[in-house]
C-alpha cells in the first residue's frame, strides 16, 4: 500500500472563500424547470406549483446563488414574455434547444422559488437578439422601488417590493458559433460595455459578469478575453469561464485528472485579466465567475427519440457514477484552491439537466452521486482556504505527466472553530495510507471522516438504488495532532476537526 502525507499550516492562507462558489444553474432547457423545480399537479407540489421534494434537497445544499434563465436559452429570450397573467403569456419556439416555451415560469416565479429554497438569483440578460435598453429595463423591473413604468408594472404584477437582484451576466457564451446572436470579441465587448453602463446607471450597486471563452478549447481563447476586457474593463466586475469534462475515450485515469487541467485553465485566465489590467494601467482587479462547470459526457449525442418542438423533453439527463463524483470533488477542491480570484461558480445544472438532483414525472426526486461532494463543500467549505503541502505518489496518463495521486485543500472556519480537509485519491487502482498533519493548530478532536468510495466506481444512484452513498470511516487514528487514514482508490474524503483552545 502506498503512503502519502498532507500537511496544513496556519500560515498557508490562500484567501477567504466567497460562498458563491457553491452556486448552481437552472436554464429553460429539457426538464430543468418544467418537471424539475416546477410541476403543478405533482403530489409534492405547493400552491405555486413548485415541487417541495426538490426544494427540500436544494435547501439541503445551502445553495447561495442560482444562475437563471440561461445558458443558450437566454440569447433568444424576451423576459417580458414571462411576467404578468399566465393566461396571456405567449407560447414561443425556443430556438436554442428546439423546444416550445410556454413561459409559465418567468422571473417573478423564479424569484418566488429562490425565496422558497433560501438562495439568491444570478440573472442573465439577452445580448444575442437584444441589447442595452432591454437589459436596463429588466434591471428597473427587478430592482427599482416604484414610480416608473417598469417598477410600477412589477407592482401591478403582484410584486410591490423589488427583487433586488444584485448579480447579472452580460449574455452567455457569445464567442460560440452555436449561440443565437453570436458576436466577434470586439462586437461583444462594445455591447457589453454600453449595456453595463446603462444597467449600472439604473442600479449602481449591481455586479456584472462579462462573457469569457466558452471553453479552453475555443479557437479564439485568449484573444477573446483580451479584446473583450479591453473594451469593457471599467464597467464589469467578473469574467466568466465555462468548462465541462468527460471520459469520452474510456480513459478513467486521465478523466480523474481533470481537476489538474481546471486549475491550469483558471490560472491562464487570471493571467489574461491581469495582462489587460497592466496594459490599461487599471487599479481594479477583475475576478472570475466559473459559472458553468460539471461532468458531461454520458449524453453528448442527442437522443434521436426527442421530438423537435416538444416541451420539457428528457434532454441531457446524465446518470452519474461514483467516479464522476470524485472528479466533481476534485473540481471543487480546485475552486477552493483558487479562492483568491474565483468568487463565483455554478455547477451546471441543478435538476434533471446534468443535475445532482433528478425527478420522476409521476414519482419521487433523488440525489445523484455528484450531489454529495457539492453538499460537503457547501456545508464545510466556508471560511479561509489553506494550502496543503501534499507528498504523495505521482502518475502519468494520456493527458498529463507527474500528477499527484492525492489532491487536497483545507478550510479554516474560525466562527465554528473547525478545520476541514478535503482530499481526493484520484489514482485508479492504488489505495493510499495517508497522514494528515494538523499539529500547527494545537489541540484538536476529530469530528468525522466522510469517505465516498465504492468497489464499483461505475455505481450509480437512482429512485430505487441507494447503496452508493458516502459513509463515515471509523478507522481513523489520531495521535499528537496527526490523523492516520486510508484513502481508497477513486475516492472523495472529508476530514472534519474541532479545534480545542488551550490556555
Query: What does the alpha-carbon distance between residue 400 and residue 254 come to, in Å, rounded to a whole number?
Result: 7
Question: What secondary structure letter does DSSP report for 142?
Answer: H
Burial (CB count <10 Å: 0-12, 13-18, 19+), residue 282: middle
Q: Are 170 and 195 in contact (CB under 8 A)?
A: yes
Host H or E run for residue 360: none
Catalytic residue among 80, 109, 140, 173: 173
String of DSSP letters for 450-489? EEE--SSTT-B--SS---S--EE----EEETTEEEEEE-S
Chain centroid offset of residue 418 CA: 25
Catalytic residue flag (residue 292): yes
Which is the catalytic residue, given 109, 292, 323, 418?
A: 292
- Number of C-beta neighbours around residue 303 at 10 A: 11
- Residue 348's alpha-carbon distances to 23, 235, 245, 293, 500, in angstroms, are 9, 26, 12, 6, 38
Residue 276, Cβ neighbours under 10 Å: how many?
18
Residue with cell 414574455: 81
- Residue 39, C-beta contacts closer than 8 angstroms, at least 6 positions apart: 45, 49, 51, 359, 361
Residues 6+ apart with CB under 8 A from 172: 70, 71, 72, 74, 75, 124, 128, 179, 211
In angstroms, the Cα distances linking 132 to 125, 143, 192 are 9, 16, 8
Hey, which residues are catalytic here? 173, 292
Amino acid at each position: 500500500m502506498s503512503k502519502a502525507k498532507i500537511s496544513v499550516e496556519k500560515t498557508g492562507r490562500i484567501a477567504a472563500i466567497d460562498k458563491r462558489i457553491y452556486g448552481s444553474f437552472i436554464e429553460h432547457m429539457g426538464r430543468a424547470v418544467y418537471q424539475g423545480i416546477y410541476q403543478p399537479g405533482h403530489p409534492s407540489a405547493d400552491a405555486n406549483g413548485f415541487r417541495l421534494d426538490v426544494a427540500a434537497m436544494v435547501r439541503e445544499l445551502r445553495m447561495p446563488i442560482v444562475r437563471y434563465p440561461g445558458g443558450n436559452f437566454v440569447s433568444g429570450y424576451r423576459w417580458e414574455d414571462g411576467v404578468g397573467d399566465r393566461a396571456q403569456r405567449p407560447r414561443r419556439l425556443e430556438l436554442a434547444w428546439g423546444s416550445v416555451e410556454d413561459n409559465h415560469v418567468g422571473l417573478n416565479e423564479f424569484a418566488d422559488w429562490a425565496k422558497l429554497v433560501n438562495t439568491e438569483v444570478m440573472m442573465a440578460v439577452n445580448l444575442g437578439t437584444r441589447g442595452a435598453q432591454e437589459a436596463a429595463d429588466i434591471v428597473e423591473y427587478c430592482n427599482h422601488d416604484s414610480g416608473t413604468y417598469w417598477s410600477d408594472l412589477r407592482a401591478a404584477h403582484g410584486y410591490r417590493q423589488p427583487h433586488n437582484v444584485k448579480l447579472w451576466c452580460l449574455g452567455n457564451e457569445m464567442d460560440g458559433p452555436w449561440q443565437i446572436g453570436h458576436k466577434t470579441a470586439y462586437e461583444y465587448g462594445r455591447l457589453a460595455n454600453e449595456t453595463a453602463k446603462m444597467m449600472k446607471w439604473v442600479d449602481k450597486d449591481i455586479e456584472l459578469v462579462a462573457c469569457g471563452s466558452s471553453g479552453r478549447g475555443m479557437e479564439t481563447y485568449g484573444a477573446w478575453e483580451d479584446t473583450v476586457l479591453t473594451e469593457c474593463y471599467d464597467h464589469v466586475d467578473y469574467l466568466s469561464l465555462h468548462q465541462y469534462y468527460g471520459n469520452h475515450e474510456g480513459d478513467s485515469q486521465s478523466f480523474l485528472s481533470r481537476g489538474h487541467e481546471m486549475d491550469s485553465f483558471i490560472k491562464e485566465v487570471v493571467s489574461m485579466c491581469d495582462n489587460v489590467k497592466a496594459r490599461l494601467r487599471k487599479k481594479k482587479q477583475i475576478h472570475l465567475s466559473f459559472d458553468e462547470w460539471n461532468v458531461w459526457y454520458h449524453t453528448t449525442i442527442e437522443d434521436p427519440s426527442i421530438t423537435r418542438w416538444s416541451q420539457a423533453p428528457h434532454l441531457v439527463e446524465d446518470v452519474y457514477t461514483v467516479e464522476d463524483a470524485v472528479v466533481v470533488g476534485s473540481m471543487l477542491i480546485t475552486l477552493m484552491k483558487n479562492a483568491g480570484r474565483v468568487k463565483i461558480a455554478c455547477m451546471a445544472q441543478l435538476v434533471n439537466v446534468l443535475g445532482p438532483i433528478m425527478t420522476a414525472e409521476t414519482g419521487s426526486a433523488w440525489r445523484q452521486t455528484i450531489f454529495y461532494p457539492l453538499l460537503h463543500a457547501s456545508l464545510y467549505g466556508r471560511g479561509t482556504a489553506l494550502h496543503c503541502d501534499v507528498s504523495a505518489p505521482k502518475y502519468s496518463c494520456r493527458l498529463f505527466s507527474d500528477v499527484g495521486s492525492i489532491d487536497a485543500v483545507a478550510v479554516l472556519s474560525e466562527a465554528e472553530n473547525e478545520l476541514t480537509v478535503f482530499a481526493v485519491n484520484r489514482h485508479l487502482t492504488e489505495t493510499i495510507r495517508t497522514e494528515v498533519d494538523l499539529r500547527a493548530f494545537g489541540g484538536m478532536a476529530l469530528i468525522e471522516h466522510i469517505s465516498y468510495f465504492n468497489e464499483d466506481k461505475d455505481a450509480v444512484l437512482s429512485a430505487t438504488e441507494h447503496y452508493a452513498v458516502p459513509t463515515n470511516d471509523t478507522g481513523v487514528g489520531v495521535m499528537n495532532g496527526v490523523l492516520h487514514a486510508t484513502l481508497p482508490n477513486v475516492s472523495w474524503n472529508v476530514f472534519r476537526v474541532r479545534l480545542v483552545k488551550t490556555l
